[in-house]
Copies of this chain bind each other. A is one copy, B any other.
Amino acid sequence: MHNPQLNKQGQLQHLLTIEGLSRSMIHHILDTAMPFVSLADREVKAVPLLRGYSVFNLFFENSTRTRTTFEIAGKRLSADVVNLNINASSTSKGESLLDTIDNLAAMNADMFVVRHAESGAPTFIAQHLNRTSNGRVSVINAGDGRHAHPTQGLLDMYTIRHYKKDFTNLRVAIVGDILHSRVARSDIHALSTLGCPEIRAIGPKTLLPSHLESLGVHCYTDMKEGLRDVDVVMMLRLQNERMKGALIPSAQEFYKHYGLTEEKLALAKPDAIVMHPGPMNRGVEIDSAVADGPRAVILNQVTFGIAVRMAVMSVLASTRASA
Select the stretch in A9-17, A23-31, A86-94, A167-175 that faces chain B.
Answer: A86-94
Is B302 a contact of A99 with CB atoms below 8 Å?
A: no
B-side contacts of A85, CB under 8 Å? 64
Whether A108 is near chain B, meaning CB under 8 Å from some CB there, is yes
A316 within 8 A of B: no
Interface centre among A71, A88, A106, A305 (most CB of B within 10 A): A106
Smallest CB gap from A306: residue in B: B107
Interface residues of A in 73-126 (CB under 8 A from B): 75-76, 80, 82, 84-86, 88-90, 93-96, 99-100, 102-108
Which residues of chain B come closer than 8 Å to A281, judged between CB atoms?
94
Given contacts A64-B89, A80-B75, whether A282 and B96 have CB atoms under 8 Å apart is yes
Which of chain B's residues have a CB closer than 8 A to the CB of A90? 64-65, 279
Q: Does A46 contact B51, Cβ atoms closer than 8 Å?
A: yes
Are B54 and A72 touching (Cβ within 8 A)? yes
Residues on the B chain within 8 Å of A104, using CB: 68
Please indicate the chain B residues that have their CB under 8 angstroms from the CB of A88 in the complex: 62, 64
Interface status of A278 (Cβ within 8 A of chain B): yes
The answer to whether B303 touches A107, judged by C-beta atoms less than 8 angstroms apart, is yes
Check if B54 sits within 8 Å of A45, measured CB to CB: yes
Q: Is the CB of B279 within 8 A of A99?
A: yes
A84 pairs with B107, CB closer than 8 A = no
Q: What number of A residues sit within 8 Å (CB to CB) of B?
A: 54
- Tell me whether A127 is interfacial, beta carbon within 8 Å: no
Across-interface contacts of A263 in B (CB, < 8 A): none
A94 touching B240 by the CB < 8 A rule?
Answer: yes
A217 within 8 A of B: no
Instruction: Given A279-B93, A279-B99, decide whether A46 and B80 contact each other with a Cβ distance below 8 A.
Output: yes
Bound-complex Cα distance A220 to B306 (A): 56
- The one of B82, B96, B299 in contact with A106, judged by C-beta atoms closer than 8 angstroms, is B299
Q: Given the complex of chains A and B, what is the CA–CA distance between A85 and B67 in angstroms?
A: 12
B95 near A279: Cβ-Cβ < 8 Å: yes
| With contact pairs A80-B76, A88-B64 given, residues A107 and B43 touching in the complex (Cβ less than 8 Å) | no
Q: Show 28 residue pairs from A and B whose CB-CB distance is below 8 angstroms, ordered by the A residue.
A: A40-B108, A43-B321, A45-B53, A45-B54, A45-B108, A46-B51, A54-B76, A63-B89, A64-B86, A64-B90, A65-B90, A65-B103, A72-B80, A72-B107, A75-B80, A76-B80, A94-B281, A95-B279, A96-B282, A99-B279, A99-B280, A103-B302, A106-B300, A106-B302, A107-B302, A107-B303, A107-B305, A108-B303
A residues within 8 Å of B by Cβ? Answer: 40, 42-46, 51-54, 62-65, 68-69, 71-72, 75-76, 80, 82, 84-86, 88-90, 93-96, 99-100, 102-108, 240, 278-282, 299-300, 302-303, 305-306, 321
